[in-house]
Amino acid sequence: MLNIVLFGPPGAGKGTQAEKLVKKYQLVHLSTGDIFRANIKNGTELGKLAKGYMDKGELVPDEVTIKMLESEVGKYAYPKGFIFDGFPRTTAQAQALDKFLATRNLSITITLALEVDEEELTKRILLRGKESGRADDQDENIVRNRVKEYNNKTAPLKEFYLKQEKLKTIQGAGGIDDIFTELCKMIEANAKTV
């Protein structure tokens, strides 16, 4: 199985690249942000809880997020692999993911980190907000808070995957197709299963 963690700050292009990778390698795409948004739309209890945090640009608590992710993974019997987009976002989430995958004799194959500088991120997200209407993309204070959460809680995870020798970093400022080509090269050089 090919299990990819797509890593990077909000607005780095994780969702865009995830869609392309999913098509090419026939993976299951699990975006925690998308799952939370679907829950909000459907008015579930999980959605109500998540909304309070998302509206402020804060992370949803680990316990809730981990439980949700595990239940999503459990829905697929024989996938070719998963692409985790927006998860893990904290060390506790990364540890829980490793532990959970291990119980199924699985592991993360590679972590692909997209790097984009902060000013470019803010610009991209505010533009996306105008086009998509996503509330947390329209308010500059919320956007800056998300970047802050990323720097404080998520960026340290690079060290976690570096220690496991799974981290591959790429500049996310180039063209969509060029970045995609680079990501595919990294995957194929590192994943024996492809």
Active-site amino acid positions: 14, 89, 128, 134, 146
Task: For ligand ADP, give the closer residue by CB, 57 or 81.
Answer: 57
Distance, in Å, from the CA atom of 94 to the CA atom of 42, rounded to the nearest integer, reads 28
Helices vs. strands in the chain: H and E counts, helices first? 9, 5
Decide: is 124 part of the binding site for ligand ADP (CB under 6 A): no
Minimum CB distance to ligand ADP, residue 164 (Å):
19
Q: What does each C-alpha distance from 133 to 64, 125, 130, 162 come to in angstroms?
A: 26, 11, 6, 36
CB of 145 to ligand ADP, least distance (A): 8
Which of 17, 39, 65, 109: binder of ligand ADP (CB under 6 A)?
A: 65
- CA nearest 90: which of 58, 131, 133, 52? 58
The CA-based diameter of the chain, rounded to the nearest angstrom, is 43
Q: How far is the CB of 39 from ligand ADP (least distance, A)?
A: 11
Closest-by-Cβ residue to ligand ADP is: 33
The two tokens of residue 98 are 């490793």
Q: Which residues bind ligand ADP (CB under 6 A)?
A: 10-11, 32-33, 36, 53-54, 57-60, 65, 86-87, 89, 93, 146
